[in-house]
Structure 1
């Protein structure tokens, strides 16, 4: 319901379909993403994967209204250990979904156009190569909604863009354009429009697919060996941190402000 897959000439193309024009990531997406990438990993006909979004945008990120029903218990004031443990399981399930992209033995090339926010950035951080169109915009925005980003951006992007750039994006929640993304190494190249970016991603995937598949998979495995051990440790830590500290009046205020389309007023509680 949230993704489509097409395979041609050993290249799979995965397209985000999430509800609405921004391909938001709700329960269907988080359930289906690891299933899709698990199947691609196991498919001997697939040697590379292109990941892109339908419509003008890659993804607006987490579908907060759709996810709130499963988070309600832990957001309640004075939540006890049991709902916090269930929330920890929920975070770990979402983390597993994103990690399925990184763990796929077939290299993944992300083609980004329009907005790529929050969870969208987590997903492309798990890809091997990223390209963008000139209209692409990126935001590690969780801090603005009183959330510590917990799905992999904080762990994976340091090795992509460097510690200083990552801290700036994570602590400010600011938006950056395609030119800035190129300068800091978040994307490999920027193309004039969405069609050109997708064509470039397909070309790179075809070049990878033309190489000996076991050597390609071995190369990805070796490149990711040290990083993924470090990432896994970081994901466990942030999941536990959020299970303990995420419930706050500021988070409730962020949700209400989002739903009411007004600026939030944070109090540090």
Structure 2
């Protein structure tokens, strides 16, 4: 299948998915999430040992593209909800694949980009990576799972710090708090990712798939409910005048390539199913 915002490569039982909007710092659109959903649905029918998600160019992803933000305030809440549910469906499809998934993070992993890495099993960061959740700076609510999943990974306090301050942390701090599992020294990132892929590919894939299910079964039983509530929280924040003012000012200050989040519309009206 041909994709517009991602690249999918397969080689000897391994697949690499590359977010492919480097001119926009790989900011993700609604189409990106539809394509991620489609790609991972295809992977479910293939004999794969490992899947790696990475970004083209110098960054993993600066988040969700906000270029369409001037229009979302005029959308009906149900339309925004439907668009966010498409994104949630894509993230669930990624998480549910019975194959180990590696997030190879170089450069920015911000906002929705960071939340995409949470749908992966193991996160490897380059020494120059930066992580952050800048939504609060624009009066936006978390809506892609970060607030629900991060407490179990990095603790409640650090989760609140990331969300409430909107500040970035570097790769070493991300490793120290448990946000990433490995950090590569300068010049060693690709080799570290390849070594991890080799290690995972040596194991029986069905055993690693079972391990994923076992680990996920220990998550809070209300995780899906909390994710659904996040959509409604996001809708509430979207309607605030202060949010609209902050977003407008943000867009005036920054190029679209540096934007982070908006409720992404689903291109061509397609929805995962």
With the shorter chain as reference, the TM-score category is 0.7 to 0.9
Cross-structure match for 1:63: 65
Deviation at 1:21, TM superposition (A): 4.5
Cα deviation digits, residues 77-113 of structure 1 (max 9, x gap): xxxxxx1122211121122222222122211111111
Cross-structure match for 2:23: 20
Rounded Cα–Cα distance in structure 2 between residues aligned with 1:35 and 1:58? 20
Q: Within 5 A, what are the aligned runs for 1:105-254?
A: 105-193=98-186, 196-227=188-219, 229-254=221-246
Deviation at 1:68, TM superposition (A): 4.8
Tell which has more relative contact order, 1 or 2 (C-alpha 8 A, sep 6+). 2
Which is worse superposed, 19-28 or 163-172?
19-28
Q: Normalized against structure 2, the TM-score is what?
A: 0.86
Structure number with the higher helix fraction is 1
List runs of 5+ in structure 2 lacking aligned partners: 255-273
Rounded Cα–Cα distance in structure 2 between residues aligned with 1:139 and 1:107? 24
Rounded Cα–Cα distance in structure 2 between residues aligned with 1:239 and 1:186? 23
How large is the RMSD of aligned CA atoms in angstroms? Answer: 1.8
Task: Say whether residues 1:2 and 2:5 are aligned partners.
Answer: yes
List runs of 5+ in structure 1 lacking aligned partners: 75-82, 263-269
Could you say if the C-alpha distance between residues 229 and 48 of structure 1 is closer, same or farther in structure 2, counting changes exceeding 3 Å? farther
Rounded Cα–Cα distance in structure 1 between residues aligned with 2:198 and 2:119? 20
Cross-structure match for 2:35: 32
Deviation at 1:9, TM superposition (A): 2.5
Deviation at 1:230, TM superposition (A): 3.4
Could you say if the C-alpha distance between residues 129 and 196 of structure 1 is closer, same or farther in structure 2, counting changes exceeding 3 Å? same
Rounded Cα–Cα distance in structure 1 between residues aligned with 2:61 and 2:51? 18
Report SS of the residue matched to 2:141. Answer: coil
- Whether the aligned pair in 1 keeps the contact of 2:125 and 2:171 (CA below 8 Å) is yes
- Whether the aligned pair in 2 keeps the contact of 1:16 and 1:54 (CA below 8 Å) is yes
Q: Normalized against structure 1, the TM-score is what?
A: 0.87
Could you say if the C-alpha distance between residues 159 and 196 of structure 1 is closer, same or farther in structure 2, counting changes exceeding 3 Å? same
Rounded Cα–Cα distance in structure 2 between residues aligned with 1:108 and 1:236? 24
Rounded Cα–Cα distance in structure 1 between residues aligned with 2:188 and 2:53? 14
Report SS of the residue matched to 1:73. Answer: coil
- Whether the aligned pair in 2 keeps the contact of 1:18 and 1:26 (CA below 8 Å) is no
Cα deviation digits, residues 170-219 of structure 1 (max 9, x gap): 111111111111111111121123x6223322221222222112111111
Could you say if the C-alpha distance between residues 230 and 107 of structure 1 is closer, same or farther in structure 2, counting changes exceeding 3 Å? farther
Rounded Cα–Cα distance in structure 2 between residues aligned with 1:201 and 1:87? 36
